[in-house]
Structure formats: structure tokens, C-alpha cells
A and B are shown apart, each in its own frame.
Chain A
Amino acid sequence: MQMSTEMYGIIAMFMITVLLAIPLGRYMGKLFSGNSTWLDPIFNPIDQLIYRISGVDPNIEMSWKQHLKVLLSINFIWFVLAMLVLTNMAHLPLNPDHNPSMSADLAFNTAVSFISNTNLQHYSGETGMSYLGQLVLMLFQFISAGCGMAICIVVFKAMKEGTTNTPLGNYYYYFVRSCTRVLLPIAFIMAVLFLLNGMPMTFKGKDTITTLQGDTVQVSRGPVAAFVAIKQLGTNGGGFFGPNSAHPFENPNYFTNMIETIAIALLPIALIFTMGYMLKRKKLAWLIVGVMTVGFILLLAPTLVMETAGNPAIAKMGIEQNLGNMEGKELRLGAAASAYWGIVTTVTSNGSVNAMHDSFMPLAGMCTMLGMMVNAFYGGIGVGFLNFYIFMILAVFISGLMVGRTPELMGKKIEAKEMKIAMIIALIHPFLILSGTAISAYLYAHHPAEYAGWLSNPGFHGFSEMLYEFTSASANNGSEFAGLGANTPWWNIADGIVMLLSRYLPIIGPVAIAGLLAQKKYIPESAGTLKTDTVTFGLMVMAVIVIVAALSFFPSLALGPVAEYFSFH
């Protein structure tokens, strides 16, 4: 009985996500094509005001290099702003709990983490952040998501068929529209629903209460509802409180849990339908969503089975496991919805959690890592598609070689330069994860006096904690095996560098490829063209993803979660 209602819950969440994503994708397609939408009367004046104050002209055409220059310069300014606020919070207003400023290395990590849409947190919101700091981080949750969406639209524009020197539009225009007309209204609706379900939205500091049993307890509060809405929607994931959406104030009941879970994958899926609308290639959009969904379900199914079956080591003590593996999970959410969230949040690079991944069963933990290692099953807002685009280029090239034809994507010839960029981008992710984990494992093993305090779990699981940390940083995900004591200079700086590289290089690479392709001569479709919207091509992309992910990561997974799994038996 219990488990069946839990299963209906996750089926409903998935169905609602897709059903909402289809019309939303179409709306966004209209938005970025410059067509009129019903929200125009409200937002046209707001947008105009933003353009005027910023001193930019949204009608100027930009080259792909100019798009990237604008993106990188605004991100640089965000970084400076974040550093200034985080290192001076203690003296700034809105700090009723008198929380301290951050050390330089922690501020570097946090600043990079939030501008890069990662939201890896080496602090706890209750004790490590003022309300002003939270509100500034919330700014980055909006604009880093808007930044990813805008650059994805540039790639969609570049993919437009039938033209040579395809126009790419204006970055400010896409960015402002993403923020004001997509993120802001949806986040606001979510925040109102959260308020109606008892989520706090207050600027008062800690409350002190006496419990029924007579203990005195302090309760942290804050402007939570506004923050959680955009945290879930913008594939951000940085929690207001330490335990993220496991905290009853961030996720009070099953209804809010459903909204928060749906919001995680909503925009990444909607963006694929936006592509279908803008390129008039609906079939291709469905194919991509189909491939992503197959990948998602392949990771979800074993995780669900493992988490709802419970912990065999505890079963050995005679404790019944019909509730599932409940360590690190909340009862109002249940094991199934926690497993579902665990996979949605890792495939999309959201990284919020409603249960502790560190206490997941070994192979469930492995599936969450695989979600981040692939990082293209839905993926982060905008960047998820960019990663998938790289896999598509690789698949086109390999299929082209197999059938002896020139590789073409959407009527544009793929040549050596594009392939080099695609290969570098495909390999940089495993390179950052594996080299980072290797150095950490070396430090841990050879300098135990300085570094052994990192891990809260021994053996294989400890190795998994380090592997997960770098995987999460490199996937711009932000979830953690939180037993890792990561607020040390090594983790702050190493993670920070990994997040920087893995945010901006995988944006620059695909935009460069798309930009280069857009300038090329259009070759009309003929009998010799490799069709991209067929199931065969879908299987090719899937094969490329599996081969790249499996070959790169299998040895390290064998040392961590797989070895831990066998240690049970």
C-alpha cells in the first residue's frame, strides 16, 4: 500500500513535468523568435527599462565571438560582486544572526559555485551566510540560469537550416528575456504556492522556542520561499539551509516536494521543445527528449529498486525494510520520491537534494554519479543541450565514417576544426574529475596527518566521497556526498578551479562549433544525407554517450561504489 502510493507519486511527477514542458517550450520558442506573447504588455516596458539603464542596444546583431565576450564579461562582474559581498557580510546589513564573513578560499569557492550555476556549498546557510548574502546568491541563481538559457538560444539560432552566414541575434536580448519572462514569473508562482504550504519568508533572525518536552531550542528562519523557488527552477540547487530540501522549512510536505521536483527538470526539457519550435524540427526535438528520457530511466530504475529495497546490513539486525533505506531521508517524502529526486537532480545539474546521497545504497550512489558524468540527460539549463550537442557531433562523425559519407549536421559539413573542439570538450570532463580525484586520493594516502580528517566514512565509500565531489564540481551540479569535510583550502580551491573550467569551456566549445558551422555553405538534403531525426541516429548518440562515459569512468566507479556493493556480500 505505502510503496504503491509512493510509486504513483513519482509517475505523476514525471508526467506533469513533460506535460508542462511542451507548452512552455513553445512559449519560449515564440519569445526568442521575437514573436508576440500574451505577457508582452507587462514585460515590454520592464525590458526596455533594463536595456536603457544598462546602455545596451538589443537589436544589434552579434557574431558568435561577440556573444561569448558579452557572456564572459558579465560573468566576470558577477564574480567580483560575489567576492565583495561574501568576504564582507559580517559588516553589512540584514545579518540578524551575526554570521561571520567568509574566508578568502571559501568565498572563492562559493562565488565561482554560484556564478557557474553549480551551487556547491562548503558552508551551511544557518551559520555561514547572512540574509544579504542569501539574496545576492539568489541573484546569481536567476542570472546564471538566464545566462545558460541565452547561450543555448544562440546555438539554436546557429543551427537554423537553409542559410549561409546565419544571423545569431543579440545576447543581451536573449539574456534579459530569459530572466524576466521565463524565470521570474514561474519562480514567483512557485514562491506563492510555497507560502501557502507553510514555508517561511521573513527577515527575522533565529527564534527561540520551548519544546513540548521542555527543552529550549533555537530555530533558524529567513526569506526561504523566494529563494527555494528559483533554486529549484534554475538548475541551481544551492540550499538556504544546510540539509537543502530535506529541511522541513525548505520542503514542508509532499505537495511542495512535487512542485520542487517538477521544477528541476522543467526548463531543461522545455528548452529541447523550444529548439523544435525554433528550427521547425519537432521530430528531432522528440527524438532528443526520447534519448534523454531513456538514459534517465536507465539510471532511475536501479536507484528506485535499491533505495526502496532498503539496507541489507540493517535487515540483518532483524529490522524490517518495507519503508526502504531511511537513513538520511525524510518520512513525509519517502524512499521512492527521494530516489527519484536523487536522479533528476544529478542528470540535470541541479544538485539540490531532499535526501542525503552519502547514505544512498552503493549502486544508487553510483547512478547519481553516472548522471553527472554523462551530464547531458536533460542537463543544466542551456548547457545540458550544449553537452548533448557535442555528443551529436561525435555521433554524426562516427556514423559518417561507418557509412563512408561526409559527416553533416543540419546541412552543414563537420570538418577537422569542429571535431577537434568537440573531442577536447568531451574529454575535459573526465580529465578534470579523474585527475582531481587522483590527486585527492594521493594526498589522503600519503599525508594522513593533514588530510585524513576529510572523510567521514572509511574504505570504498570514502573514495566515493572524493570522486563524487569532483564529479559534482565538474558537472556544475553542486550536490555532495556531504560526509566529506570540504571546507578546507584544498577542496575550496581545487573545486573552484574545476567549476570555472567546466562551466566556461563547455560553453565556449559548442558555441564555437555552432558559430563555425553557421558560417558554412548550406548543403541541401539529398539521398546521401544522414538523417538526424531517426531512431537509428538516436541509438548512435546513446552508444557514443555510453562508450564515452563507461570507458572514462568505469575504473574509478569500480574502486568506489561497485567495490562497496560487493563488500555487502
Chain B
Amino acid sequence: MTPPGCAVSQPEPAPPPAAPRSATFQFLEDNFGLDLRSLAFFRVALALIVIGDLIYRARDLEAFYTDFGLLPRYTLIGQFADRWIISVHNMSGLWQVQALLFLIAGIFAVMMLLGWRTRLATFLCWFMVLSLDNRNPVILQGGDTLFRMLLFWAMFLPLGAYYSVDAALDPEPVRPRPQRIFSVASLALMLQIAFVYWFSVIAKSGPEWRHDGTAVYFALSLEQFATPFGHWMTRFPGFLRFLTFFTLVVEALGPVFLFIPGFKGAFRMLGVMFLIGLQLGFASMLWVGHFPFIGTAMMLAMIPSWFWDTALFTNTRRDARKQARTALKIYYDGDCSFCKKFVLILRELLVMPEVAAVPAQSVAAVQQQMTAENSWVVIDAEGKSHFRFDALSLLHKHSPIFLYRWRGHLIGWLPLQRRLDRLYYWVERNRPRLSRATAFLSYRKMHERTSALNQTVALFFLAYVFWWNLGNVNEKYVMPVEYHWIGIATRVDQIWDMFSPGPLRDDGWYVIPAQLKNGKEIDLWRNGAPVSWDRPSAAAVAGQYRDERWRKYMNNLYFDIYAPYRLHFGRYLCRYWNRDKSPNDPDSVQRFRIEFMMRSNLGPGVSSTPRRVTLHEHQCYD
């Protein structure tokens, strides 16, 4: 009798001819499907963005997500949030509980990163991101909408088909592995990317975009947003005129390239490169937060199979490395469930499916070595045996992924390796305990086929999202209000109106002069420095915000529709500055004004003097 899971232990055979399928479907899959390896990298990118965003947001935990902060739950729920908004983060107003929720979301992201219970992990990540976004909508930007949508469509896609714990622990994997997926959701993901750019082109209807070509100039001369490079670029208005129209062209045509069939997907690859380039261009000139990362991550999913199959392996060294991998053999202790799982997962995550993994018990000589050395055994092409961390290092050095090879050299460094081997001995001694501890990693069959339910739900949401976008740009097609709740509850509502219809013209900086109890005047916005009304340098205007979330919040506060939020920001400032101070403390803040020093942007060569706009006057009570 074969022990369960034995089939995985063999190296993957060379792909036999594919099973017969309908020619039309084959054509669609080949030309419009998504490569599963690309989706795996997409998964890793999404998970890393979730983790990065959590770390980034955690610095402002108290200000943005607690009842102490600038948007306590009672105001969010009572005044601002739609009734269909869902947020678990409303469960408590304490930073401690918010921190716990951040931690839980982080665990879900790690699940997704490793591809363990991938679909569930993706759903949980999506839900936690939606919940977090809903807890404080004032600090969100277009990138957050896009990111929610990517996670949303990802739930319907097999992100864990490659390079995942799920793939490693599939007891009876389909061989050869499927290469591509074509489903409603895969199409929806492509269309979603197209919608972002196309609808944003339609929304850019101002003369700055369509006629004068001054849009990029105006965007870059907003000192609040421009990077030093972007600021420097304003010296070349002629070139920026070209960039304006070039942006429009790339946004309009880049997505079209994704849909051009044939040529092994070369056009699609071109589209990917153009659109990633566009994002990098934005990132170099404007402070747009994590948008470029998200904009790049989504393009990873679009990379055609050709790129992985051919483009990457034309290099002879890469070919040689691949050849070397087929000669490797991993022997693990077949009586140790933890050992087997570890080897299978390692092989998958190091992207080396060509390597054979077999129980040491199957070869008497190797079994002797295993018992003698108390270690797993990796045999290289020369037939030399490697043990412990030396073996791990060897495997890493053969990985096609550069980072892993680098890590292989690191752990292969002898002084370090000896220390690490001590860790190995600890693991060796505790194998039964580790086997019990890893029992939850069960062998599960991966479902390759897309279910009818999956297709139906994805189709519904694709139509819904298209309708929603259409309504944004043409009043004739606005969705009736009674259907809005679906979009609001799932947050698939979206609007792509970055820099539209034209870029913002108002720039400036904040001053928050405050009177203390002892009569002193300080600037709350500059950490209690003396008040100064002088115009700061362009870099200082961009640097007045602690981070992107604060930048977005303060930008929003300036607009009339966000006027009701100013009172709560004021209350937060009182709480923050007077924390731990008795009401009679001479240093406690009594009252302050929120002033925006507004400078209208009149165009190249015309300078305007800043005007003081009082957004809010506030009196602190105890």
C-alpha cells in the first residue's frame, strides 16, 4: 500500500500533451487567461502590501482608530457613516483592542503570503481591510479603493495554485500543473484594471488635460504633494505638456494592450511594462502613498506565461541552474510527519518543483546516513550528502529566486552555520512535539476548477461594478439608490477621479495658533513651536504631514464637505494636548484656530500671495 501523499514526493514529470478541450475555450484561456505563477506573485505582493499598510497605519493607531482620536465611534456612526457600512473595528474604542485587530489582520496576511488556506486567508484579509477602511474613511485615498477591489477579485481566483503551502500539501496534485486560469473573475480582474485607467481618463475632462496640457504642471506645483524631483520638474513646462498628453495616452491605451491576443502575450507584457512605468513615474514626482505599490502589484497578475516560460530562461546560467535542480534529491525521515511537511513546503516555496523528495527509509544507505547524522539528507549532483543547515543552504543556492540564493550563501557561511546547527539539534530533539504542533497543517486537495457559484457571483459583481463606474461618468446610467447598499456593504463602490476633472489649484500649509492658559501662544501644528506666518520652503510644505494618512486627512479637512469633521479634529487636539494635565495647568491649551494658508496656483510664472483661511475656531473644555 502506498502511504498517503507519496505521489507528491516524486519530481514533476515532463508535461504530457494537454487533455483535449474545446478549441474556443483553449483560445480564450491562452490569450485572455491569467498565468497561475503570476497570480502567486500577485498573492505575495497583496499580502506584503497588507502587512506594510498595517505597520504604516499602526503608528497613528490612537489618532485614527480610537475614541480618543479625531473620529470617535459615536461621530462616525451617528453622523457620517452610511447604515450599510460594516466594520469590526467599531467593536471597541480602545487602542489596545485596535492593536489586537491589527495583529489578527497581520496573521491573516501571513497566511495569505504563505498560501495556507489561501482562499479563506484572502477573504479574511479582504474583510479586515474593508473593516479597517470603514473605521476611518477620511484618511483613505484612491489606492485603498483599488486595493479593496484587488483583494475582492482575488477571492475568486486560485492565488494559491503555485508557491504556496496549499500546493505543497496537496495529496494528489494534478500533473502537469495547470498553467493558466480563465474565468469570469480572471476577466474581471483585467477589466477592473482597465476600468481604473479608462474611467479616470474619462473623468479627466478639464481643459488642463484636454486642451492646455497644463495638468501635470499644476499637479507638480502643488507643494503639498510634489516630491523634490517633481518640484524640480516644474521648471520645464514644455516637457510637462508632453507628459500630460502622454499620461492620457498610456492610461487609455495601456489597458488595451492587455487584451491584444497572440504573439505569446508580448503585447500584454508591453502593457504591463507601460502601466508599471506610469506608476513609477507618479511615484517619483508625487507623494501618493501606497498607490504605486498597488498599481504595480495588480500588473504582476497580468504577466503572461511566456515571460516565465521563455523570457526568464533564455539565459544559459538559468538553464544550467534548472538542470542542476533536477539532479538534487531530498531524503526526509518518513516516520516524522513534521519532517515531510517541512520538506514539501520548503520545496514549493523555494520554487524548485524539479527536486525529488523521498523518505530516507526507501534507500538503505541513505537511511544509515540519516541515523548516523541525526539529520535529513540532501544529495547533490556529485552524489555528495549534505546535512542540517548545510543541506538547507544547498537547496537555497539552487533556487531560481535571487533572494533565496543570497540567503543560501548567508546560511552557508560556516561560522553562522555552526550556530544554526544548534537550532537544528533543538528541532531534531523536539520532532514529535513539532509534529503535534503542525498537525493543523493538513493535506488538502486543491480545487482547480472554478465552481459555477464562483462564476455567477463574479459575473454579478462584474456587471455591478461596471454599472457603478458608468454612473460616475454619465448621469444617464446612474444606478438607482435602492441598489447602492450592495456596493456599500461590500465596498465595491468606486470612483476614479484622481486629478479630475483637473488638478487642484489650491495649495498651502496649516498653522494652528493656540492660546495656553498662561497666555502663551504656540503652534499646535508644529509641535508647540512659536507661531510663524512666514512661508515655508516647498520641502517644508510637503513635509508638514507626518505621513500619507495625515496628508490625506488634512487635505480633506480643507474642503467644505468635510467641514463637520473639523469640530472632532478640534476636540482631539484638546484631548491630545491636555492629556494628563489638570484643568488649571498653566500649559494647558485653552483655544485655538485652524488656519490654512492658502496659495492659489495661477499658472507658470505667476505667483500669488498666501491668503489666511480660518477653517475652524475651537474652545477646549476641561
A and B from one complex: no
